[in-house]
Amino acid sequence: MSIWVRISDFVSGTAGNALGGLVEQVRTVFAGDPETRARVAFSVAMIALSAKMAKADGVVTTSEVDAFREIFEIPDEEAERVASLYNLAKRDVAGYQSYAAQLAGLCGSGQPDCPMLRDILDGLFHIAKADGLVHEKELAFLSDVAAIFGITEAEFDRIRARHVDVGDGDPWRILGLEPGTAYANARRRYRELVRDNHPDTMAARGVPAEFHAIAHERIAAINAAWDRVEPELRRR
């Protein structure tokens, strides 16, 4: 049974068809199966929060819909289920802050900068920039979600730098380094970033295989940033 069928069944059995109730069901039903719970939680998070982000921005473009489908390879027979969940999230009177807080508890480990929550934020940035620009309202939405997720300002700045050009300091921001960092420490940081974003590492924290296309984009940005800063680091 696909995760979309399971999620849809949860929705049909949730009082009032509120997606917030679904989040609680995922927590209890998959309590003994953390791997499946992580996959379902990631899917619910991306549906709910991308729908809320679209509502906050006021416009849903074709490119944003295509970007969503890049994250999830949705079979044709499941497309209607996913669309119904997306529309449910848009209609639900609960604000995105409520969803984000619930999902932080569901997906996170209780520690700051939980990797899976950063993956969710990265996916939301991917969707937001699909029309060629991350709009001001979208950036405010993403910043607020990051704060609710417990993602530090420095980490949010690093994620944003991979998607939005914020000036000449981008490569340093992407790597999370200060320009005066010693070469050995900088290289250690670079290797950590590559390791943390390896497909096997991401799969272990519940990220679906389709997200790996975005992971490749992320790795490309990290490698490009390293290529720009390494010569300067070596000169020192």
Q: Is the pLDDT of residue 226 over 90?
A: yes
Instruction: Compute the average pLDDT of residues 29-44.
Output: 71
Q: Is the pLDDT of residue 73 over 80?
A: no
pLDDT band of residue 86 (cuts 50, 70, 90) is: confident
Task: Indicate the DSSP class of residue 176.
Answer: T
Q: Whole-angstrom Cα distance, residue 230 to residue 16?
A: 55
**pLDDT for 13:** 57
Q: Rg of the Cα trace of the chain?
A: 18
Residue bearing the bigger pLDDT, 109 or 71: 71
* Helices 3-12 and 34-57, packing angle to 10 deg: 70
Residue bearing the bigger pLDDT, 15 or 229: 229
- Phi, psi (degrees; rounded to nearest 5) at 16: 75, 5
Instruction: Compute the average pLDDT of residues 17-33.
Output: 65
Q: How far apart are the first and last CA of the chain?
A: 57
pLDDT band of residue 98 (cuts 50, 70, 90) is: confident
Write out pLDDT tens, residues 155-173: 898 888 888 875 555 888 8
Residue carrying structure tokens 């039903």 = 29
**Domain ranges in the chain?**
3-235
**Cβ atoms within 10 Å of 89's Cβ, excluding its own:** 24
Q: Is the pLDDT of residue 109 over 50?
A: no
Residue 217 zone, left/alpha/beta (φ > 0; ψ -120 to 50; rest): alpha
Q: Whole-angstrom Cα distance, residue 233 to residue 52?
A: 42
Of 15-24, 40-49, 61-70, 122-131, minimum mean pLDDT range: 15-24
